[in-house]
Structure 1
Amino acid sequence: MARVALAGVGHWHAGMHLEAARAAGAEVVAAWDPDLAVAAGFAAEHGVAHQPTLAALIAIKPDLTVVMGRPDQVPDLALACIEAGLPIVLEKPAAVSTAALEPLAGAVRRKNLFAAVPLPNRCGPIWAEIEALRAAGRLGPISHAQFRIVNGPPERYRLDGVPWVLDPAIGGGGALRNLGIHGIDAALALAGSADLAIVSAAVDRRLHGEAVEEYAIVTLRAPDGMIATVEAGYTYASMAPGGDFEWRVSARNAYLLDRGDSCRVATLDDGRMRDLTPIPPADRYKAFMADTLDHLARGAAPSVGIGDYLQAMRLIDRAYQEAAL
């Protein structure tokens, strides 16, 4: 049984990582946070041990450590784990800027260390279907793709106790950096990590008066001509979990549509339309953790690593420049 530690449990995804680790059959052996009261409260609520310092957590040598927290603090936390040789999951946002992330990527390469990044929509059902169709010679060139995540108003981050998400000096941006990175990563994955040109980018911050953008739209073009659109927002008119989620990929012989709670693929050569088993977005952290632990156990590289994260961050930097933010 893999032993998983959670560092920085004040992060709003900490509970999701704990649930995902347990669902994957791992044992959560330790929790830690710079705020000792937060760590103690999390540990008591979830029935796990908590450590007084990061050094104490590192000393128990977990098989996998999830590193979370404020982006202005995470690089130091992550570097401590990396230098100790611990395999990690690096939760986002992991740095206030791309430049601050680059030393982490360099350290991971130097140590030849396992470092997965939770971009869990890569575990959605359309990706395995795309690979199966491609392997069978039934996909064809990809014409266009759209990736949209629009969640509730930004005030929900204050309610979650992480108001720094709305401070661009700490979070490094708004909806595009925080949510849009999932779509940017998806576009890069479809393009085989080829360099993508930015056709257009625009942001808006009129609805809620925050310092960060509450909506962004970016249009990208791949070297082979594929067009991808990424939308991200804090503009869904509800505080309830969920929002507006849609992943759409159009190839010559297949059209794939993932709306979170439903997923469908149409194929031209056989005239079929099939429903795929959906994975609701709230459950994709479970799929991510199971995939991560499997790769770690096999000695394989993570499905999404720090290099993928860095490439997406750089592309978002260019999108912000295009939008004249």
Structure 2
Amino acid sequence: MTTVALIDTAHWHVPLYLDALEKADVQIVGVSDPTGTTCQSLVQRFHTRCFATCEELLNEVRPELAFVFGRHVDMPQTANLLLDRDIPFAIEKPCGLRAADVRRLAEKAFSKRAFVAIPFIFRLSDTWRIIRNGQVSVKFDHASFRFIAGPPSRYERASTPWMLNREVSGGGPLINVGVHLIDLFLVLSGSEVVAVTAFSTSHINNLSIEDFITVTLQCASGAVGIIECGYTFPSSAQQQREFTFSLRAGDRFLRSVEKGIEVIHDGPAGVVREFKPAEFETDLYYSDFVEHVLAALQENSPTCADFRDATGVLEVVEAAYKSAAEGGRLIRLHV
């Protein structure tokens, strides 16, 4: 049985992990929550102990694995604490506010051969599997991803109002949900992003974070990507968000359709259209992530993503925010 700690649990994704943890062969040996808003329910559910901070928890118990949540601004400090104590951990994206901070974590984790996992959950999804089609990379010609989540008020309801403060969260939908799409594009494209432009708006809710942003990515290969994300979808229990995409990869054109992905390509007798069922409800993949992390730890195998991946994603996020702040100016990377 693996002993597990839940770190800084005032985060809206925590409930998405709990069923899988409850079913797994683990013992929750401690929970930290500086806000005091989640500890009581977690203590009752897992019959464990609550601590005010991660450091207090680690001074009392030594888990074999930690799942780290918390505010984006606090993530590098927590990660350093766990790396210093050689405790394997999974940590929510974006892992910090700046690419430079996460790059230092990547270097430290690499030098220590540390076990680190990051839930870029599209890597565990039907979308990933169908687009890859058994290939390591698909070499996009062009791709467009759109993820429009519910309004900012949902973070207030989840007792995480810090998500609406740019100084603490780092930004709005791009650094929160857009990172998944950037990661998907970076890994599947098989090419380095060399230039970024972006436009954003914050006039809907008048917050320090953006309401909506559109980002264009230019790859060294010549491929172009477009990512759109926002907090503008009028979500309900029945439908919480919009997720759509289309892309060309070699001789295949793929696009999201209802309940799946349509794959279109030329065949001997003309155009062939195939339907591939796919689950687009991304929340469901967090249980898969828990199972993946536990299996990787037990088998000493690579995790789906680590700090090096998060660094590359945040480099694009920073470039996009800089471009948007400067009226869409072209920002060059890796030159």
| TM-score when normalising by structure 1 | 0.88
Pick from 197, 210, 219 the counterpart of residue 222 of structure 1.
219
Task: Tell me which residue corresponds to 1:188.
Answer: 186
**Structure 2 vs 1, CA of residues 154 and 35 (structure 1 numbering), >3 Å: closer, same or farther?**
closer
Cα pair 1:264 1:274 within 8 Å, conserved: yes
Cα pair 1:254 1:265 within 8 Å, conserved: yes
* Separation of aligned partners in 2, 1:113 and 1:186: 24
* Separation of aligned partners in 1, 2:146 and 2:62: 39
Task: Tell me which residue corresponds to 2:76.
Answer: 75
* Separation of aligned partners in 1, 2:260 and 2:2: 32
Q: Would you say 1:292 and 2:289 are equivalent positions? A: no
Pick from 143, 146, 156 the counterpart of residue 144 of structure 2.
146
Consecutive unaligned residues in structure 1, runs of 5 or more = none
Post-superposition Cα deviations, 1:217-261, rounded to whole Å, max 9, x if no partner, equal 101121222211111100112354621012433213323334694
* Separation of aligned partners in 1, 2:156 and 2:301: 38
Return the offset for 1:32: 1.8
Q: Give the letter for the 2:206 counterpart.
A: G
* Separation of aligned partners in 1, 2:258 and 2:246: 11
* Separation of aligned partners in 1, 2:124 and 2:79: 24
**3-state SS in 2 of match to 1:72:** helix
Cα pair 1:253 1:269 within 8 Å, conserved: no
**Structure 2 vs 1, CA of residues 278 and 154 (structure 1 numbering), >3 Å: closer, same or farther?**
same
Q: Would you say 1:34 and 2:34 are equivalent positions? A: yes
Equivalences, count: 320
Q: Which moved more, 1:71-80 or 1:214-223?
A: 71-80
**Structure 2 vs 1, CA of residues 35 and 311 (structure 1 numbering), >3 Å: closer, same or farther?**
same
Pick from 228, 231, 236 the counterpart of residue 233 of structure 2.
236
Task: Tell me which residue corresponds to 2:119.
Answer: 118
Cα pair 1:215 1:232 within 8 Å, conserved: yes
Task: Tell me which residue corresponds to 2:252.
Answer: 254
Cα pair 2:139 2:189 within 8 Å, conserved: no
Consecutive unaligned residues in structure 2, runs of 5 or more = 327-335
**3-state SS in 2 of match to 1:268:** strand
* Separation of aligned partners in 1, 2:266 and 2:20: 37
Task: Tell me which residue corresponds to 1:156.
Answer: 154
Return the offset for 1:65: 0.7
Give the percent of matched residue pairs that are identical in Structure 1 and Structure 2.
Answer: 27
* Separation of aligned partners in 1, 2:142 and 2:212: 21
* Separation of aligned partners in 2, 1:188 and 1:79: 26
Pick from 177, 190, 204 the counterpart of residue 207 of structure 1.
204
* Separation of aligned partners in 2, 1:294 and 1:259: 32
Task: Tell me which residue corresponds to 1:49.
Answer: 48
Q: Where does structure 1 differ by over 4 angstroms across 4 or more consecutive aligned residues? A: 23-27, 258-261
* Separation of aligned partners in 2, 1:119 and 1:75: 17
Return the offset for 1:77: 1.8
* Separation of aligned partners in 1, 2:138 and 2:164: 41
Q: Which has the higher strand share?
A: 2
Post-superposition Cα deviations, 1:173-213, rounded to whole Å, max 9, x if no partner, equal 11111111111111111223x42133531101111111111
Post-superposition Cα deviations, 1:127-161, rounded to whole Å, max 9, x if no partner, equal 223433437xxx97422112211111112111111
| TM-score when normalising by structure 2 | 0.86
**3-state SS in 1 of match to 2:254:** strand
* Separation of aligned partners in 2, 1:259 and 1:242: 17
Cα pair 1:201 1:216 within 8 Å, conserved: yes
Alignment RMSD, CA only? 2.5
**Structure 2 vs 1, CA of residues 21 and 144 (structure 1 numbering), >3 Å: closer, same or farther?**
farther
Q: Which moved more, 1:219-228 or 1:89-98?
A: 89-98
